[in-house]
Amino acid sequence: MSLGALEVIRPGLLTTIQDLGRYGHQAVGVPVAGPMDGFSHRLANHLVGNDPAAATLEITMIGPELLIEVDTTMAIAGALFEASCDGQAVPIDTSFAVQAGQRLKFGRLVQGARAYLSVAGGIRTDGVLGSRATHLVSGMGGLSGRALMPGDRVPVLAQTASRPVRKGVGLTLPTGRRARLRVVPGPQDDWFQSGALKALVGVSFRISPRSNRMGYRLEGPPLARLDERELVSEPVGMGAIQVPTSGEPILLMADRQTAGGYPKIGYVITADLPLAGQLAPGDFIEFAVCSRQGAVAALIAHERQLLRSADMKDGS
């Protein structure tokens, strides 16, 4: 296979290279990063026959225009964009063949917030500490640790043999710009006044404009703490709902720091994190309480959906 590139004509709002994340270095403060919607990242890879760990492009709200310099197979999963290749509409959640010289253009965003573009063989930037994932704040991974810019060349492989067209079942995207996310309470739910968990599940929180890949600041009724004691800073994971003294919760997302000193009232379950990744500032979140067993059952259902994609005959 020979190396080629996708040339960035227009980068879109925030297009970054992501893989499953940079695990194994949190002890020295290296954040994990990775896709905001891991389900759609994996589905996009699956559709072109890639390993789930292959790097994709995460496309946010406004998509890019790319000049394709190799013959290959691609797929788009996640947010629903009107996308076209040389003016011809391309399908979502379905692989498609492209030829060198074609232009892939993302148009209007119809639903969701983030799409994942996979390329057969994956995006071939050099890894940093074992991962190609872009972490924007520390400037690590991806292309020079930043979002794509005009003129960038994203390295990909030219394909030697054609791959079958594969169709998948995509994530159920948020409707009406709101989503319900299930939460396992803890580890510090006992730091809050007795009504706080009820306050968390009883209302809608609006995602603040001051939100990004690190976390979503949530606007809603403050969650009252029992007292002002300080938590000794401790390791955190994606999905943590941490509550600073202001009482305004922050949902930690893909680019979160490795540790934090705010109490966590709960963690969003892994199966619902992809849905969270499809939300944007101004969208609404409602929380529901869930058990850990329920969380694992939901994740298994998710995995089944991911594998429920089938090869189709070319042209069908």
* Beta bridge partner(s), residue 288: 182
The window from 103-111, 179-187, 205-213, 278-286 that contacts another protein (CB under 8 A) reads 179-187
CA 232 to each of CA 35, 188, 235, 262: distance values in angstroms, whole numbers, following the listed order: 29, 12, 10, 8
Compute the least distance from the CB of residue 133 to another protein, in Å.
12
Whether the Cβ atoms of residue 253 and residue 259 lie closer than 8 Å to each other: no
**23 lies in the site for another protein, by CB under 8 A:** yes
Task: Write out the two tokens for 260.
Answer: 């934090």
Q: Which of 25, 103, 178, 180 binds another protein (CB under 8 A)?
A: 25
**236 lies in the site for another protein, by CB under 8 A:** yes
Which are the contacts of 176, defined by CB distance < 8 A and separation ≥ 6? none
Q: Which of 13, 24, 110, 311 binds another protein (CB under 8 A)?
A: 24
Residues 18, 131: Cα–Cα separation, whole Å: 9
Q: Which of 108, 210, 292, 304 binds another protein (CB under 8 A)?
A: 292
Q: Which of 57, 216, 264, 279 binds another protein (CB under 8 A)?
A: 264
Q: Write the single-letter amino acid at 174.
A: P
CA 104 to each of CA 9, 67, 81, 259: distance values in angstroms, whole numbers, following the listed order: 10, 6, 12, 39
Compute the least distance from the CB of residue 137 to another protein, in Å.
7
**139 lies in the site for another protein, by CB under 8 A:** yes
**195 lies in the site for another protein, by CB under 8 A:** no
Compute the least distance from the CB of residue 175 to another protein, in Å.
25
**129 lies in the site for another protein, by CB under 8 A:** yes
CA 246 remoteness from chain centre: 28
Closest CA to 258 of 160, 138, 141: 138
**28 lies in the site for another protein, by CB under 8 A:** yes
Q: Which of 106, 192, 205, 267 binds another protein (CB under 8 A)?
A: 267
Compute the least distance from the CB of residue 31 to another protein, in Å.
7
**266 lies in the site for another protein, by CB under 8 A:** yes
Number of residues binding to another protein, judged by CB under 8 A: 44
**274 lies in the site for another protein, by CB under 8 A:** no
Q: Which of 13, 89, 137, 203 binds another protein (CB under 8 A)?
A: 137
**268 lies in the site for another protein, by CB under 8 A:** yes
Compute the least distance from the CB of residue 103 to another protein, in Å.
34
**296 lies in the site for another protein, by CB under 8 A:** yes
The owner of tokens 């492209």 is 98
**147 lies in the site for another protein, by CB under 8 A:** no
**Exposure pattern of 121-131 as b/e (b: 16+ CB <10 Å)?**
bbbbbeebeeb
Compute the least distance from the CB of residue 68 to another protein, in Å.
30
**197 lies in the site for another protein, by CB under 8 A:** no
**259 lies in the site for another protein, by CB under 8 A:** yes
Q: Which residues here bind another protein, judged by CB under 8 A?
A: 23-32, 128-129, 137-140, 184, 186-187, 232-240, 257-260, 264, 266-270, 292, 295-296, 299-300, 303
